Amino acid sequence: MMRKVQYVNAFFVCCVLCLGLGTIKAQSPYELNWKKDLSLYGLGIVGQATVYFTGVANLNDLTDEELEGLNPARINRFDRRATSMYSLRARSYSDVIFHSSYAFPLLFLLDKKGRKGFLEIGVLAGETYLLTITSTFITKIAVQRIRPLAYNPDVPLDKRRSSGVRLSFFSGHTSSTSALSFFSAKVFSDHYPDSEWKPVVWSAAAILPAATGWFRVKGGKHFPTDVIVGYAVGALIGVAVPHFHLKKNKKVDLSLSGNGSTIGLTMNW
């Protein structure tokens, strides 16, 4: 399962990068620094490979002693309720939203203005996703928090013992959905600053990752604190990446001009 996720991650990044590079004329509020942005892509890809081959691939299943030592009473009260949840339907719902979020940046291809500026949108979407998923998995490997379903005796034993149960903190489904949702809302706002649809777009951006997180908790995959942190990290990266790529204001030149008793101030930008 973890290998499948890694392949999907790589496929998404390649798609948005290729679509972005395939746009010849770009008109958008963003500007790229190819040296920095491509270096970041390289670091992100290397980071993903390193995390997988040195961390995820080397995780061991829980031992009998570890399973016997899991006690819900030791979990903080806020998170404890998640140890009794295990809904396969909820997990399916979270997967649908999560995988659908890959298409959010591609929606800009439906609009003429978005197509013209998709060079930047595509590159920044991939950058946003790489930063999010890499930071998520680095944290997962470093923390190795046990998923709530491992505490639940009603869950099949093979699911409770699987090595993947060590990757609870923080929620990758939530962080990725949050990053791409808020990224898309930020890009929409930057492209259409006067649009009356902005409240709707931002509301959708806030609700979709929240729903994803709720379904992950209901499915027994994460504690509430896992999805709260994932939501916050994803939202921060999703807004920050396009914000720091906004075109800087050009230098403003002021000059005085006069004609007889009239003095004028000329501003060029």
Distance CA 252, CA 267 (A): 7
- The reported pLDDT for the residue numbered 44 is 87
Both structure tokens of 224: 């509430």
Cα–Cα distances (Å) from 251 to 46, 254, 268, in that order, read: 38, 10, 8
The reported pLDDT for the residue numbered 19 is 44
pLDDT at residue 257, rounded to an integer = 55
What is the phi/psi pair of residue 194, to 5°? -105, 10
Q: Which residues contact 109 (CB under 8 A, 6 or more apart)?
A: 19, 115, 118
**In this structure, what token pair is assigned to residue 71?**
């006690």
Query: How many structural domains does the chain have?
Result: 1
Note down pLDDT in tens along the chain; length 269 residues: 445 444 445 444 444 444 444 443 446 799 999 898 999 899 889 988 888 888 888 899 999 999 999 999 999 999 999 999 999 999 999 999 999 999 999 999 988 888 888 889 999 999 999 999 999 999 999 999 999 999 999 999 999 999 999 999 999 999 999 999 999 999 999 999 999 999 999 999 999 999 999 999 999 999 999 999 999 999 999 999 999 999 885 444 444 455 554 444 454 44
Query: For 263, phi and psi rounded to 5 degrees?
Result: -120, 130
Q: In terms of residue numbers, what domain contains 205?
A: 2-268
Overall pTM surpassing 0.85 (yes/no): no
* Residues linked to residue 266 through DSSP beta bridges, in sequence order: 255
pLDDT for res 263: 45
